[in-house]
Amino acid sequence: MNLGENLKKLRKENNLSQEQLADKLNISRQAISKWESGKAYPDIDNLILLRNIFNTTIDDLVLREDKVDDNKIEVNYSNTDEINYCKGNNAEKDDLSVDLMIGCTIIGMILGTITGNYMWSMAGFIGLGFGFIIEPIGKYLKSSVKK
């Protein structure tokens, strides 16, 4: 439903004519007619007044949907790994790429601290690069093994 349909429905539920509603808002009946037909829209001040008259929210007045929600997205998962990952139950806790990134970062920080040359901490970025290279290769190999 849109604003016009909602407004018309609320007006009729409250036994108000377009003229009566227009009088409450201090506007013309033609303005109400344009709002209900979708040819024009009320300004924010009139939306607030309508909200108060009909004892509703502006969201319900403008966006109210009756029982049918066309915007729902249905997601079907066919891969159990994806389901586990989405649920937070990632079974592959010992992922090589993550271990490599963390390990290289720790080793680089230790070597940088011992030698006083903090360029060693760049080894963590090298591990990060290797991780990004190894991860897609691992996923490809896993998917080819399952087939």
Residue 97 has a pLDDT of 63
Specify whether the CB–CB gap between 11 and 35 falls below 8 A.
Answer: no
* Continuous H helices in the chain: 3-13, 18-25, 29-37, 44-54, 58-63, 80-87, 96-115, 123-146
Residue 27 has a pLDDT of 93
Which CATH number describes the domain made up of 3-63?
Answer: 1.10.260.40
Confidence of residue 65 (pLDDT cuts 50, 70, 90): low
Angle at 61 between CA 57 and CA 67, to 5 degrees: 100
- pLDDT at residue 33 greater than cutoff 90: yes
Using alpha carbons, select from 61, 25, 32, 72 the residue that is nearest to residue 46.
25
Residue 67 has a pLDDT of 44
Specify whether the CB–CB gap between 102 and 93 falls below 8 A.
Answer: no
Domain parsing of the chain, residue ranges:
3-63, 90-146
Tens-digit pLDDT profile for residues 91-132: 454 566 667 667 777 777 777 778 877 676 666 666 666 666
pTM of the model: 0.44
